[in-house]
Amino acid sequence: MTAIAPPRGTKDILPSESAAWRWLLDTHRRVVEGHGYQAIETPIFESTELFARGVGADTDIVEKQMFTFSDRGGRSLTLRPEGTAGVVRAVAGNRLDQEIRPLRVHYAGPFFRAERPQAGRQHQFTQIGIECIGDRSPELDVEVIEIANSFFAGLGITGLKLQINSLGTPDDRSTYRRALVDYYRPHRDELCDDCRRRLETNPLRLLDCKTDQRFVAGAPMIWDSLSEPSRVYFTAVQAGLEHAGVDGSVNPRLVRGLDYYTDTTFEFWHETLHGAQNALGGGGRYDGLAELLGLPATPGIGYALGVERTLIVARALGTAPGPAPACEVVVCALGPASTLTCAAVARTLRSAGVRTVLDASDRRLDRKLRNADRLGARVCVIVGDDEVAAGTAAIRDLRDRSQHTAPQARLEETILSLLETSG
C-alpha cells in the first residue's frame, strides 16, 4: 500500500520545531498584551460572502486562492484566507467597540490560501495579528506599527525594512484608479493577460504585477491623488513613527493585496525572503470594511504577520531557539520487578515539578541511556532488582557520566540539588 503524503502546501510542525514556535508565539503575546490587546478567536471557516465583500471580489485572494466548499445545506463556506474580516464581523457585529473604544484584540492561528507552494508560501500557514477597532487617529496607526516593530525586536530580528504608504479615502482611491487607467490604457496590448483584466477590475493591482514591472516606474503616484486631509493624516503618522524611533520608508507603490484598506498601509520586508515572499507581514487601516460587511461604520487598523516566514528569518539570523529538551530526568526500570518502584519514583519527581519520563521498556541499559540523551535529559535514575532489594537507586549525571547511589527515600532532594547544580 502506498503511504499517504501530507496535502500539497501543508507542513507538519514537528517536536524539534516546537520550542521555536512557542518562543515566537509567547513573544508576540507578551508584546501585544503589554499594550492592552486581548485574545479573540473566530471560526476557521466563514461564509464565502464575508471575504468576497470584505477582501474584495476582484482580488487575487478571492478570485484564485480560496478553499471554498458547500455545507450540507448548500451554503458556500470558505476556509479563512485572512483574519481581519472575521474579527471585524465579530467585534462590530456584537457592538463590542461601543463598550470599549477602541477595542484592541489579538489572534494567532491557521489561514488558507491556494497559492503555488514554495519556501515561505503554503496553502495552510499561520498568522499572528492584532486589530484595533472603533477609533481613528494617527496615534493608533503609530501604535500598531510600533507594536509589530517591538515584536520583531523581541525576536532579535534586525535588517527589517518597513514600507509605509497611504491609500487615502475611497474617493482618493477612485481618483488614483482613474489616473492609473489613463496611464495604462495606451499600453493595453503590451500588458499580460492578468493585467489587461486588472485594468478593468482592479487597476491598483497593476502596480504589483511581476511581468509588467517596466510600466510601474512611470506610473502615477498615489500621493498626487490624495486629498489634503489624507495628506495631513499621513504626515501625522510619519511624524509619530519618527518620534517613536521606528524607521520606515514611504513606498508609494505599496498597494497591498486586499481591497479594504484606506489611508495608512504598511509591510515589513526582509531580504532573507526573496521575491514575492519578502513580506514578513503587513497591515493597514480599514475604515470602510465594517460597512462592506453590512455593519455600522466602524474604523479600524491592524496587522498580520506570517509565522512561518518570520521563523525562516529568525533561523537565518540565528536568533530562534533550537529543540528544547523533552524532560529533565529519565527513570529507567531494569527488569519487571523494578517497574512499579520506578513508576512511583517518576510520580514523586513530577509532583516536585521535575519533567520526568518513565522508561519501563525491556531495552538494554545502553539503549535507554542513549534514548535519555536524545530526550535531552540531564539525569537518569536507574533501578534494577538489586536496587529494589536495597531500597536505593543509581543516579547518573548524563553531562559528566558520573554515577552514585542514593536511598530511594531521599531521591527527590538528591535529584533537585543535582538539577540545580548542573543547571
Binding site for ligand HAM (CB under 6 A): 82-84, 113, 115, 120-122, 125, 127, 129, 131, 257-258, 279-284, 286, 302-306, 308-309
Map residue 78 onto helix, strand or coil.
strand
Nearest approach in angstroms of CB 295 to ligand HAM is 16
Closest separation between CB of residue 307 and ligand HAM, Å?
8
Comparing CB distances to ligand HAM, the nearer of 126 and 238 is 126
Q: Name the residue number minimizing CB distance to ligand HAM.
A: 306
| Nearest to ligand HAM of 127, 272 (CB atom) | 127
User: Smallest distance, Å, CB 87 to ligand HAM?
Assistant: 8
Q: Rounded to 5 degrees, what are φ and ψ at 312?
A: -60, -45
DSSP three-state, residue 183: helix
Indicate the SS3 state at residue 368: helix
Q: How far is CA 410 from CA 26, 357, 358, 382, 407, in A?
A: 36, 19, 18, 14, 5
Return the number of the residue (158 or 402) whose C-beta is nearest ligand HAM: 158
The least CB distance from residue 55 to ligand HAM, in Å, is 8
The answer to whether 286 and 301 have CB atoms below 8 angstroms apart is: yes
Q: Whole-angstrom distance between the N-terminal and C-terminal Cα of the chain?
A: 48
Q: Per the structure block, which three cell numbers stand in for 124?
A: 495552510
Phi-psi sector, 122: left (phi>0), alpha (psi -120 to 50), beta: beta
Beta-carbon contacts of residue 72 (< 8 Å; ≥ 6 apart): none
Confirm if 94 and 87 have CB atoms less than 8 A apart.
no
> 166 pairs with which residues across the strands?
264
* Beta carbon of residue 392, minimum distance to ligand HAM (angstroms, whole number): 55
Q: Rank residues 195 and 289 by Cβ distance to ligand HAM and give the closer one.
A: 289
- Closest separation in Å from C-beta 112 to ligand HAM: 8
Residue among 112 and 184 whose Cβ is closer to ligand HAM: 112
Determine whether 365 is exposed, middle or buried from the number of CB atoms within 10 Å of its CB (0-12, 13-18, 19+): middle
- In the bound state with ligand HAM, the residue whose beta carbon lies nearer, of 248 and 384, is 248
Q: How far is the CB of 288 from ligand HAM (least distance, A)?
A: 13
* Minimum CB distance to ligand HAM, residue 17 (Å): 15
Give the nearest distance from C-beta 161 to ligand HAM in angstroms.
13
- Of 280 and 345, CB closest to ligand HAM: 280
- The residue among 23 and 184 lying less far from ligand HAM, judged by its C-beta, is 23
**Contact (Cβ atoms closer than 8 angstroms) between residue 243 and residue 189:** no
Nearer of residues 304 and 342 to ligand HAM, judged by Cβ: 304
Asked if residues 303 and 140 have their Cβ atoms less than 8 Å apart, the reply is no
Task: Note whether 84 and 260 are within 8 A (CB).
Answer: yes
The full DSSP string for 374-417 is: HHT-SEEEEE-HHHHHHTEEEEEETTT--EEEEEGGGHHHHHHH
* All three cell numbers of 99: 463598550
